[in-house]
Structure 1
Amino acid sequence: MLSDKERRKELGDFLKTRRARLSPQDFGLPIGPRRKTEGLRREEAAQLAGIGVTWYTWLEQGRDIQVSSDVLEAISRVFRLNEEEKEHLFLLANRPLLSKVGRPLVESVNSVLKNVLSQLEYCPTYVTDEKLNIVSWNKAAAVVFGDFNKMNDRDRNAVWRCFTSKEYRELFLNWEDHAQRLIAQFRLAYTRFVGDEWFKDIIKELTNKSPEFRNWWSKHEVLGTPCGKKTLLHPLVGEMIMDHITLQVYDAPELKLTIYQPRQEGETEQKMKHLLNWQADLQ
């Protein structure tokens, strides 16, 4: 269940981190010799956003107040939030963006999407839900990222596996970059479920198990799922270079389709075919 108190605390913490990353010089404000505040002061942020200092202070303190969309727009502008951060802010303030309202939800991966997975024969592809659980995948994904059929529900969560699996950590040439991006995506997903017991449990467990998770989670970074290039170090075939992209499923916007497309570099496509043939021989 959504906890209003925890949601407001999350909102306050997020505002503090975004205020701290700005400099008075960004807005032509003077910096006195006795200044100790990191980033903007509360009164400076309030003035730039055109709202009262007391009102803004209450927001950061997690007070039980109602904030308008106009105020959130002003804060977004002053704090120079990107689209993901802006959505995060609106949801924490319990003011969903209009473009996000009324979207349909489904509970399962439909047959059309499963057919897409099977058609992408040499492209490791999987589907994640709104909690970043991997709910469907193709054979190519299993031979690269692990046999999801043999994993329990916890291990099929992308964030949990990223921070607790030694094999998964060693799979990525630049694991830290991958992990920080993933945790920022998880923070954005968490926005809709602040106070939810499932999220509270997994965050607590990861905080205890992983110092990296504990450090990066506290930074309140939020991020979407940008496309790019990944270099994987597979234990059987070595270096594999792939382009990856994540797509939102139109009819089920809580689901996302992540596709890794083998590049010609390093004979990656040939290595994918070798892995799949090797897997078929074992069956």
Structure 2
Amino acid sequence: MTQPNELGEFLRSRRSRLSPTDVGLHGSTARRVTGLRREELAVLAGVSADYYARLEQGRARNISDSVLSAVADALRLDDLERRHLTELVRPARSVSSTTSKPLRVRAALRAMIHALDPTPAVLHGPRMEVLAINRAGAALLDDFEAMPPAERNMVHWMFLNPKARAVYPDWSDIAAQLVAILRLAAGRDAGDQRLAALIDEITAQSDEFATYWSDHRVSQHTHGPKRFEIESVGALTLNYEALIPPSDPELRVIIYTAEVGSPSEERLRELLKSRPVDVGT
């Protein structure tokens, strides 16, 4: 991943999704640009057109909290987008980021993932690495622990492994969300060389990834339903919850559960019958 003006690209992408009528501006309908012009956004944010141009070009310095808030208000950013904007303006880490080093997962945390079986559970790193997965998680998704280490990544699997499209009936929605999670991580630490290499690799092999990446959408794992299609048992709808280990806030524990008494609960139980009991690693 090269290091272009990420701030400017994000601002332009958010500006392009707003129309003058969205923000109460009126004028000629003949426009050569999609969305708001720089000058219009500057007026809404209460800054000069020259200053806002320098901001998009990455040439503005010492940006105050009040200006940042005014720009975010003008762009109608949500809370996560505001956080992303702040991280782009004020990177928390240097280029020699510690997150470029391999993660070390506590043995107790890894053991917990396996102890959750027969509830599917996965441990993700900040770059969507699959750091641990239990028997039920592997049955639901894929056997990541049998893959080469470089391929044990949810985004890598989603775009470069054909099985992902078979597992997720809503592949495009899930794929877009994973890219948006990765985009948030990239904004948090522009110096993460391992993340940059991952993005370069997938971009080179997937036009779909490149399209989602250029959208500059940001997201994070929280909770919600997901649909799965498993060849041996059929369709399942499971609810996922993303948990943050207090001592390892850069990691995420993802747990999948079925509604009690639902067909999905029975199918999940059926799926696991042929799998050896998970004793951990």
Q: TM-score, normalised by structure 2?
A: 0.87
1:83 equivalent in alignment to 2:51: no
Rounded to whole Å, the distance in 1 between the matches of 2:197 and 2:60 is 25
Rounded to whole Å, the distance in 2 between the matches of 1:245 and 1:50 is 40
How many angstroms does 1:156 deviate by?
1.0
Query: Residue 69 of structure 2 is aligned with which of 68, 73, 89?
Result: 73
Q: Is the 8 A contact 1:125 1:259 kept in 2?
A: yes
> What secondary structure sits across from 2:128 in the alignment?
coil
1:245 equivalent in alignment to 2:241: yes
Counterpart for residue 102 of structure 1: none
Rounded to whole Å, the distance in 1 between the matches of 2:74 and 2:42 is 9
Runs of 4+ in structure 1 over 6 Å off: none
Query: Residue 176 of structure 1 is aligned with which of 165, 172, 197?
Result: 172
Q: Is the 8 A contact 1:162 1:169 kept in 2?
A: yes
Rounded to whole Å, the distance in 1 between the matches of 2:46 and 2:227 is 46
Rounded to whole Å, the distance in 1 between the matches of 2:248 and 2:83 is 18
Q: Percent identity?
A: 33
Letter in 2 for 1:109: V
> What secondary structure sits across from 1:280 in the alignment?
coil
Q: Is the 8 A contact 1:241 1:265 kept in 2?
A: no
> What secondary structure sits across from 1:252 in the alignment?
coil
Letter in 2 for 1:69: D
Counterpart for residue 273 of structure 2: 277
How many angstroms does 1:108 deviate by?
3.5
Q: Deviations over 1:18-62 (max 9, x none)?
A: 011111112221121443232111111112111221111011112
- The CA RMSD over aligned residues, in Å, is 2.5
1:256 equivalent in alignment to 2:270: no
Rounded to whole Å, the distance in 2 between the matches of 1:199 and 1:222 is 16
How many angstroms does 1:93 deviate by?
0.4
Counterpart for residue 165 of structure 1: 161
How many angstroms does 1:64 deviate by?
5.7
Counterpart for residue 212 of structure 2: 216
* Aligned residue runs from structure 1 range 89-238, under 5 A: 89-94=85-90, 107-238=103-234
Letter in 2 for 1:279: R
Counterpart for residue 14 of structure 2: 18
> What secondary structure sits across from 2:249 in the alignment?
strand
Letter in 1 for 2:170: N
How many residue pairs match? The answer is 270
Q: Which structure 2 residue ranges, 5 or more long, are not aligned?
A: 93-101
Q: TM-score, normalised by structure 1?
A: 0.87
> What secondary structure sits across from 2:173 in the alignment?
helix
Q: Is the 8 A contact 1:193 1:199 kept in 2?
A: no
* Aligned residue runs from structure 1 range 37-52, under 5 A: 37-52=33-48
